[in-house]
Homo-oligomer: A and B are copies of this chain.
Amino acid sequence: MIDLTADNVRQRNLARILRLVHLEGPLSRAALTESTGLNRSTIADLVGQLARAGVVEERAPDPSRRVGRPSPVVAVDSRLLAIAVNPEVDALTVAAVGLDRSIPVRERIDLDHLISPEETAAVVASQIAEWRSGPLADARIVGVGLAVPGLVRALDGLVRNAPHLNWIDAPIRDLVERATGLPAVVGNDATLGAVAEHLYGAARGIDNVVYLNGGASGIGGGLIVHGMPVGGAGGYAGEFGQNRPGIASERDRRARDGVLEDEVSRARLLAVVGRPSADEPTLAALLAASTLPDAVAEVARQRGILATALANAVNVLNPSVVVLGGFLATIAERDLESLSAAVGALAMPASMEGLDIRVAVLAEDRLLIGAAEAAFAVVLADPLGHTAPG
């Protein structure tokens, strides 16, 4: 038991199995044997231990119409949940997310004021308490994951600066931990979105991903390199919106010495269609329907600058997939081919070869899934660590 040594083999193998059934969904023991390369007996032993610890369940074999003895199906225990939280300007979303990515309960709380970190923690805690005496009575909650639109210090979950929430140096992780009594992790919303698209979405299983999301408040981004999210030294990596991409023609420049999110912005799109606000499908429909020269030209202008920014990222990171979300998906998806061609004209040909520019697919669940994933990370790394072994 007292293992001062580095890498506990048992722990690694348990984690491998749990991660497999987490990522791939329910798998038979035979399938686990195949994909891990471990022995049948070992799998039986490991799965048994995970089942006793309450993180997986064994079910009757599927009628698989194959020769041979059927193999029991191993699935994640559905009572294991994480709480995902996403504070925004106009609403606070709280949800319970299963290790199987099910979302049994979810609450979007509309706000008429900017929510403070303290209020966020209080609301989350009361929401959890309410659920615990109701739909989540028999659940085991492993932790809270927060997706925050701003700069988050990885070290201690301090929100350095979330301009639209007006949070500055907010110790949100500690606040939530104290209010809920649960371990909490905090991440940048775009980075967690990138994780979600990498694990389950448009870039599933891709080891080199550039993700850019266009929201009402700007452009955020996340990177996957070596199959892992990139935090950087402080956890602030991925801020493409603050970059200054080259603008070939001065006529296309709108802001003096502006950054990407000044030039490529949702507000400018709303302006050309003459709306004060609109949700994403509405904006997309308006732009698609509009034949006003100004609207067409503005979309083309933004696509051009976006292409330069993407080319810069492609040159440096040589990703397999670029995923675009939010209004960036809107301006891109009308003609992905031509956007890809525009990027190709600006980036190195070799880096373009394997490149696929895609639109994000996970929709509004993306941040919740990413945040839950972050909360589950501890359990996935050490499945027996958080509970007494059976």
Chain B neighbourhood of A348, CB < 8 A: 151, 236, 239, 242
Does A234 make an interface contact (CB < 8 A)? yes
User: A37, B5: Cβ atoms under 8 Å?
Assistant: yes
Q: Please tell me how many copies of the chain the complex holds.
A: 2
Alpha-carbon separation in the docked complex, A161 to B349 (Å): 10
User: B242, A244: Cβ atoms under 8 Å?
Assistant: no
Per-residue B-contact encoding for A179-220, CB less than 8 Å = 1, 0 else: 000000000000000000000000000011000000000000
Chain B neighbourhood of A5, CB < 8 A: 37-38
User: A350, B223: Cβ atoms under 8 Å?
Assistant: no
Alpha-carbon separation in the docked complex, A225 to B228 (Å): 10
User: A316, B6: Cβ atoms under 8 Å?
Assistant: no
Range for the number of chain A residues in contact with chain B: 35 or more
Alpha-carbon separation in the docked complex, A36 to B6 (Å): 8
Does A157 make an interface contact (CB < 8 A)? no
- 9 inter-chain pairs at a CB distance below 8 angstroms, sorted by A residue, are A6-B38, A225-B230, A232-B318, A233-B319, A233-B354, A236-B348, A236-B350, A239-B348, A239-B351
Residue ranges of A at the interface with B (Cβ–Cβ < 8 Å): 4-7, 9, 12, 16, 36-38, 151, 153, 160-161, 207-208, 221, 223, 225-226, 228, 230-240, 242-248, 250, 257, 308, 311-313, 315-320, 346-351, 353-355
Task: Name 15 extra pairs, CB < 8 A, besides A240-B316, A244-B308.
Answer: A6-B36, A7-B7, A9-B9, A151-B350, A160-B350, A225-B230, A233-B318, A233-B319, A236-B318, A237-B351, A239-B318, A242-B315, A243-B246, A244-B246, A250-B250
